């Protein structure tokens, strides 16, 4: 994950916050800063409210989390020649249907933007110090990454 330096002119925004965010508003703002690009791709993760989930709780390690996200965004910017990248991640307690994370990538052409967005969300899941707990009426459970999650991150990191 270290190695290639970011493009000097890529605009990178990384935020970790307890407060809810509006993915639509963030994406609109992101597109306004990407007027020099032909493509902006994004992914929004939502709290999946299945199986009677009442809340999701997210812990993180401040400062280290921001550094890890920044490194992921810088890496994506260097690898796909992005003009801009955005990662916003929530922490604390969230209700079903709320947005947990948004990643966005802007590039001259669609393929680079789509791949970079996919890379950022896949790698973020296993390489940034977040932990999430599902809270249901019958108990609480810490979520561990699945083999599919690990495989998705490894697929990007091995390709280098």
What residues make contact with other proteins under the rule CB under 8 A?
45, 58-61, 63-64, 67, 89, 100-101, 121, 124-133, 142-145, 149
CB of 94 to other proteins, least distance (A): 13
| SS3 labels along 97-141 | CCEEEEEEEEECCHHHHHHHHHHHHHHHHHHCCEEEEEEECCEEE
CB of 99 to other proteins, least distance (A): 11
Compare residues 82 and 128 and give the one whose CB is closer to other proteins. Answer: 128
Evaluate whether 100 touches 53 at the Cβ level (below 8 Å): no
Compare residues 28 and 59 and give the one whose CB is closer to other proteins. Answer: 59
CB of 153 to other proteins, least distance (A): 10
In the three-class reduction of DSSP (H, G, I as helix; E, B as strand; rest coil), residue 50 is classed as coil
CB of 34 to other proteins, least distance (A): 23
Evaluate whether 159 touches 119 at the Cβ level (below 8 Å): no
Compare residues 79 and 89 and give the one whose CB is closer to other proteins. Answer: 89
Compare residues 37 and 41 and give the one whose CB is closer to other proteins. Answer: 41
Q: Beta strands 84-90 and 39-46: pairing type? A: unpaired
């Amino acid at each position: 994950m270290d190695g290639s330096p970011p493009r000097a002119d890529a605009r990178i925004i990384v935020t970790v916050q307890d407060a809810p965010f509006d993915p639509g508003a963030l994406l609109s703002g992101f597109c306004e800063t990407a007027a020099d690009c032909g493509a902006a791709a994004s992914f929004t993760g939502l709290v999946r409210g299945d199986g009677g989930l009442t809340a999701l709780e997210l812990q993180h390690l401040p400062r280290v989390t921001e550094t890890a996200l920044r490194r992921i965004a810088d890496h994506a910017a260097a690898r796909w020649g992005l003009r801009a990248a955005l990662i916003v991640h929530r922490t604390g307690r969230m209700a079903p249907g709320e947005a947990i994370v948004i990643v966005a990538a802007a590039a001259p052409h669609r393929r680079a933007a789509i791949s970079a967005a996919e890379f950022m969300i896949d790698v973020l899941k296993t390489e940034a110090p977040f932990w999430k707990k599902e809270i249901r009426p019958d108990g609480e459970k810490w979520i561990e990454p699945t083999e599919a999650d690990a495989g998705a991150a490894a697929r990007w990191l091995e390709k280098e």
